[in-house]
Amino acid sequence: MRKKVTVVGAGQVGSTTAMRIAEKELADVVLIDIIDGVPLGKALDIYEAGSIEQHDCKVFGCTDQYDDARDSDIVIITAGVARKPGMSRDDLLATNMGIMRSVAKEVARVAPDSIVIVVSNPLDAMCHVAYEVTGFSKNRVMGMAGVLDSARFAAFIAMELDVSVENIQTFVLGGHGDTMVPLPRFSTVAGIPIPELLPPERIEALVDRTRKAGAEIVELLKTGSAYYAPSSAAVEMAEAILKDKKKILPCSVYLQGEYGISDLFVGVPAKLGGHGVEKIIEVKLTEEEMAALHNSALSVKKLVDDMKRLQG
């Protein structure tokens, strides 16, 4: 039986995600957007590349009509507005909260057994909305951030050391914002921790660039935010679930006491498999690392409190 993935939002991230899923032949794809025609056009365009790219996946588009998403295995939510230069992810809160609420309601209706991967920003806060509105168990709602932040950190290390990015494993914890916590001592090149290879001031510069990596792309693009790497990251998570890989990836997950954090979505390493988040991996952090993680969790909490105020 074929797997089915619905991607909500047929903008830059959503359409690229749909294309990657089809080209990796992971599942049939349903692409949904509120804009008339766009999801249908993009879905058809992706499908028409099938004979060249040699994939056999069906790709459908529909406008604000969720019945085609019925019984999806995974729903990836990218609906919302993207940042413009000078904006932080948090500036998107009020608009994207409303969009996420309406999307999550439909997802719960048509695909009550699905696993939801949230991509819309501000990421960790949007996971809360999806979790609350769908009513899904915590293993079935997660956010894509850590995979992207780790990939960006890896890219910067590869450029700095002029080594293959395939040699690099990185580790980033925390919320998907300026307070994220890249952890150099758990980041390695061919198994060698980067503090053995780079002086502290260069590591700090790479960590800083990683924290601001999303803004760097926004400043360059001027009309929107990143989508090639974000879609790759979302698809890596979807693939781990669809193939029941038991892959440990940094994801925004609902914490209930892990790392001393409760009732918040925050980025930590998690094992992804057929049941979604199958295990949260707790590593022993230094006092300083733990303080940075808690500081990051605090900024997520602030957004969650802001959302409560916005809802009255």
Task: Give the sign of the dihedral formed by CA 34, CA 37, CA 38, CA 43.
Answer: positive
Residue 195 C-beta: closest distance to ligand APR, Å: 31
Is the Cβ of residue 18 or residue 280 nearer to ligand APR in the bound state? 18
Is the Cβ of residue 82 or residue 189 nearer to ligand APR in the bound state? 82
Is the Cβ of residue 6 or residue 188 nearer to ligand APR in the bound state? 6
The answer to whether the CB of 77 falls within 8 A of the CB of 13 is no
d(CA 307, CA 122): 11
Q: Which phi-psi region, left, alpha or beta, contains residue 118 (left: φ > 0; alpha: ψ -120 to 50)? A: beta
Is the Cβ of residue 99 or residue 154 nearer to ligand APR in the bound state? 99
Closest residue to ligand APR, based on beta-carbon distance = 11
Residue of 78, 47, 76 lying closest to 60 (CA atoms): 47
What's 151's DSSP letter?
Answer: H
Residue 68 C-beta: closest distance to ligand APR, Å: 13
d(CA 30, CA 9): 10
- Contacts (Cβ under 8 Å, ≥6 apart) of 147: 233, 234, 236, 237, 249, 250, 251
Residue tagged active-site, from 128, 176, 275, 294: 176
Residue 134 C-beta: closest distance to ligand APR, Å: 15
Residue 270 C-beta: closest distance to ligand APR, Å: 20
Is the Cβ of residue 33 or residue 289 nearer to ligand APR in the bound state? 33
Active site residue 294: no
Residue 120 C-beta: closest distance to ligand APR, Å: 4
First to last CA, the chain: 45
Q: What angle do CA 88, 293, 239 make, to 5 degrees?
A: 75
Residue keyed to tokens 């892959």: 247
Instruction: Write out the residues near ligand APR by the rule CB under 6 A.
Output: 8-14, 32-35, 78-83, 92, 96, 99, 102-103, 119-121, 224-225, 227, 230
Query: Which tokens belong to 200?
Result: 């502290």
Catalytic positions, please? 176
